[in-house]
Structure 1
Amino acid sequence: MAAPPVTAVEAALSRRRRFTTPLAVLLVLALLAGVIVLIGGVAFAIWYGRESTPHYADATEHFKYGSIGAEPRSGIPYHVWQALPRLFPEVFRPAVERGAGPYSVFGFLYETDADGKPRDLPIGLSRRTANGVDMVWFNCSVCHVGTWRMDAASPPQIVLGMPSNNLDLGGFVNFLLGTAAVDMALGPENLIEQVEANGEDLGFVERLFWQYGVAPRLREGLIERSSRLMPLMHVQPAWGPGRVDTFNPYKVVQLKVPAAALSKEERVGASDFPSIFLQGPREGMQLHWDGNNTSLAERNLSAAIGAGVTPETVDHAAINRVAEWLQNLPPPPSPMRPDPAQVERGQRIYMGQWEPGQWESPPDGLSCASCHGYRAPDGSYVFQGKDIDRIGHVERIDLVGTDRGRFDSYTEEFRQRQLDKIFEGTPYDFQHFRKTEGYANQPLDGLWLRGPYLHNGSVPTLVDLLERPEKRPVAFLRGIDVLDHAKGGFMAPPCRPEADRAALGAHRPVMCFDTQQTGNGNAGHLYGTGLSAAAKAHLLAYLKTF
């Protein structure tokens, strides 16, 4: 029997029923979901792909706050930097209670805004948006800006290019990687809560990004860095304010050499931050404390790696801009005003024009000016040795006799890794690093701002440097920026290492420096110690004018 004919209305209803079956509904939903995911993915890619770097028209501002490329791989999110004082109030309380910038507890220096309040970030912290996240980390100035005061009641004067005599970088590293990295306070939920408590409205999408991307990645990165660096920090004496181990962290973090693989002789190499005044005349000299490179460009690039840049993130143009600015950056003139007659007699001694009775034991033929250059009558610095030109040349470790730690920390094996693995295959690969036989003779421009003295800062004042090692202070306070007008350098009263270390607390930018600890020895550099008392006083008067 034939089926009845299907009307047009029935056909339409049949097609509608077929369209509204569960399978069709699922297809529509899947299509809509795909569109939503696509839109969300595009939005996420745009947000995550944001890259920007603040530009400072003024070279001085660029030096203080401009990025050199350390933030993407080594930095932490800006919002986390701002939240850490809230997450760890017991660490930052001393600074917060006195109304100072919170990170001044580690010796970071803050400039003030028009209202007299600390600026948002301290000197030496730069910002860069990388992968959609506003990041902060170090630039060159974090280690090369310091302060001085005429007396304890005077306000601090900030000097660009002098060694940072305030920054306790080791204390900050121990806090960030030894405490914060493994603390539950950095868990995503708590971290996001504190970021928003600081006044930042993340919004729904950005909150998800922080929950599942930024916060876990930050935590994992800090823990990984901690696992490499903290075993090294645990076997080293505290660096203290104004000092850093230049190359050992470089080995364990950038080159991923296990700390346990470092020999006992090389694993303690802490030394003072150097001054970076007048870099132009130093081109071709043996640079770094041990004179291991004669290229300013390579020295600068190596220092930038120590600050956290990588071959992938380094901003060569930003570093070159700083380097060009430093070519002619002079130190400020010394505010000390010794007796002019003594200065004149001291200058003759410094230049090797000795008189009978000035020496208790005869000199070795080299004058101070032979190795360090000298201050001209017009106040400029002469970067050339007198009679025998030894300025910027390495003296053998057995002759200079100072602590071996920094010298031994730079090994031939590490040098080879630098040449083979850093910037390999690029126009910037290292070529000039060498293992030397000792320490380089340094120019003394800005000497009044460079205490404590010797490469490891183990001798507090110029008066102490002119004494034989057995008469030099065994332990003294580091980190005070008040000038010592009598002795030359900064005030450094004696201390008792164990008692004063406990009394000062774990996170204070002043420490009791113990010269009996490994790497902190104050022996050597006997030049001038054989002068008579009167001749030493004259020489000191001249040195105070540098």
Structure 2
Amino acid sequence: MTSEPVTAVEAWRLRRNWKINLLALLAAILLVLFLAALVVGIIVLRRISDNSTPHYADIVEHFKYGSIGAEPSSGIPYAIWKVLPALYPDEFEGRDDYSAFGFLYEEDEAGRRRDLPVGISQRKVRGVEVVWLNCATCHTGTWRAEAGDAAKITAAMPSNNLDFGRFVRMVFRLSTDPRLAPDRLFEVMEEQGIELDALDRLIWRIGVLPIFREGLLQTRASLLPLMDMQPSWGPGRVDTFNPYKLLQFGVEASALTPEERIGVADLPAVFDQRPREGMNLHWDGNNASLSERNLSAAIGAGVTVESVDHEAIERVADWLGDLKPPASPHKPDPSAVERGKVIYMAGCASCHGYQDGDVYVFDGQHIGVVEPIARLGTDRARLDSYTETFRAQQLEKLFAGTPYQFKNFKKTDGYANLPLDGLWLRGPYLHNGSVPTLAALLQAPEQRLKAFVRGMDVLDPDGGFVAPGCAPAEPPAKGYCFDTSLPGNGSGGHAYGVDLPEAEKADLLAYLLTF
């Protein structure tokens, strides 16, 4: 049986049907691909548009772990934060947490170490969990009555543990280190129990890691040259204003005058803030507005005009307004305290207020007033770091056009007379932490220790913390050797009470230990 011949018309129809079927198949494939891409796009979009912040009902938890808005502009992805100890065991002294840099860890209700240290908050930014600093980073420390005691973590006291300069230098090394390449990073993430699916890995490769490293490179290029010009900060100290000259206003470190390059100072206590409204605040008294001081400090922690969480900051500020320091555990002789109070009231109270039993009295003719550097005689580097040029930029640019625009900053000629509440927790003393104990502060400047150990938290019976002498060329086994001969570290000045007879100094010290 033979098949019938195909006519030309039928052959054309077959070819046309074949083409139509092929086009239909291609259209179907394209439609499927489009729908798949659309679904993937929606999933990706949902992931990268997810922004959320944990809420802490308890105000102390909020202070220690709540976000103030620093993560979007300055933070480290949580997954990277978690794996850095494994990637850099030498930097972390073999530990699996950040205590090597002085970060403090609390335990949860089950007695387990908390995931993040005090002062590190977490926020989801464009679908990625990110961590960075909050107020408690600089304003939470520890103390122990005896060397064998467990450390007491105390909110609102100065951080006496955190070596922030060393931590920042470690973070800067990430920007160029090959160990942070995607494949190596993903491998360590898996070892640490952090799971990323195929889509997560794609997002990290093309988005998260390039953006993080690019931002880190820019910050490193701006800030590291300045840090290289300065002596090591050491624990409990930070440069207050110079970093945001560079980061907020784009000033080159090389453009800073030699006089303004070293603005490193001690981290302050932040107890009982409400009575301070209207006093000259910051070490040099350059602002009398608590709200502006708080926003300025938040910028130092990494927030920007766009990312700042005003509500979170104001909630902390309201709590700190009436937060009292813990009572001094020192038990000096009551009769010596009474004699010392008479000496103090005659020579010190008008500048600093005074302690009356369990209550600190914020009263004095010169409290909160700026004492001229020519009379005070302390190291002037922190004062000189705050310049009139910088002040003008603050007032012109920061929060411009908003209700938060700065308008109260001023340039001063000295350091402010500050209240001394919680004095027992605030060692070392002077604005740059250059005098280890209260007893040493009553010595003539030339008799004060030239180098001593910082970063300790055992109370010294002479006020402040145990701070043995040290040799700068020989780092101590524990702590940091603070050298007062280096620029910005001078321990001269504030020679008040140094000429008192030794018996009267002892009585005055007894009274000061009750603050």
Shorter-chain TM band: over 0.9
Aligned match for 2:263, one of 269, 291, 302: 269
Q: Matched residue of 1:91: which SS?
A: coil
Quote the Cα distance in structure 2 between the aligned partners of 1:5 and 1:511.
96
Quote the Cα distance in structure 2 between the aligned partners of 1:213 and 1:190.
17
CA distance 1:529–1:36, change in 2 (3 Å): same
Letter paired with 1:334: S
Alignment of 1:472-483 (within 5 A): 472-483=448-459
> 1:188·1:216 contact (CA, 8 Å) conserved in 2?
no
Root-mean-square deviation over aligned CA pairs: 1.6
Cross-structure match for 1:133: 128
Q: Matched residue of 1:73: which SS?
A: helix
Aligned match for 1:384, one of 353, 363, 377: 363
State the 1:31 CA deviation: 3.4
Quote the Cα distance in structure 1 between the aligned partners of 2:257 and 2:481.
27
Q: Are 2:156 and 1:161 aligned?
A: yes
Quote the Cα distance in structure 1 between the aligned partners of 2:264 and 2:331.
33
> 2:104·2:117 contact (CA, 8 Å) conserved in 1?
yes
Q: TM-score, normalised by structure 1?
A: 0.91
Q: Matched residue of 2:130: which SS?
A: strand
Aligned residue pairs, count:
510
Aligned match for 1:489, one of 464, 470, 480: 464
Letter paired with 2:47: W
Q: Matched residue of 2:258: which SS?
A: coil
Structure 1, unaligned stretches of length 5 or more? 97-101, 353-366
Quote the Cα distance in structure 2 between the aligned partners of 1:293 and 1:34.
59
Aligned match for 1:400, one of 366, 376, 382: 376
List per-residue Cα deviations over 1:305-346 (Å, max 9, x = no partner).
000000010000000000000010000000000000000000
Quote the Cα distance in structure 2 between the aligned partners of 1:224 and 1:203.
30
Seq. identity, % = 57
Q: Are 2:478 and 1:499 aligned?
A: no
Alignment of 1:342-381 (within 5 A): 342-352=336-346, 367-377=347-357, 379-381=358-360
Q: Matched residue of 2:93: which SS?
A: helix
Cross-structure match for 1:118: 113
Aligned match for 1:513, one of 482, 490, 493: 482
> 2:163·2:234 contact (CA, 8 Å) conserved in 1?
yes
State the 1:441 CA deviation: 0.3
Cross-structure match for 1:41: 41
Quote the Cα distance in structure 2 between the aligned partners of 1:254 and 1:4.
81
Letter paired with 1:463: A
CA distance 1:14–1:60, change in 2 (3 Å): same
Alignment of 1:60-139 (within 5 A): 60-96=60-96, 102-139=97-134
Q: Are 2:510 and 1:541 aligned?
A: yes
Cross-structure match for 2:190: 196
> 1:462·1:489 contact (CA, 8 Å) conserved in 2?
yes
State the 1:17 CA deviation: 1.5
> 1:395·1:440 contact (CA, 8 Å) conserved in 2?
yes
CA distance 1:427–1:12, change in 2 (3 Å): same
Cross-structure match for 2:20: 19
> 1:189·1:211 contact (CA, 8 Å) conserved in 2?
no
State the 1:464 CA deviation: 0.6
Letter paired with 1:373: G
Quote the Cα distance in structure 1 between the aligned partners of 2:19 and 2:142.
82
List per-residue Cα deviations over 1:6-30 (Å, max 9, x = no partner).
67xx787454212135x66544443
Quote the Cα distance in structure 1 between the aligned partners of 2:229 and 2:381.
14
Cross-structure match for 2:224: 230
Structure 2, unaligned stretches of length 5 or more? 1-5
Cross-structure match for 1:524: 493
Letter paired with 2:186: I
List per-residue Cα deviations over 1:194-233 (Å, max 9, x = no partner).
2222112111111111121111211111111111111011
Q: TM-score, normalised by structure 2?
A: 0.96
Q: Are 2:403 and 1:409 aligned?
A: no
Cross-structure match for 2:236: 242
Quote the Cα distance in structure 1 between the aligned partners of 2:187 and 2:306.
33
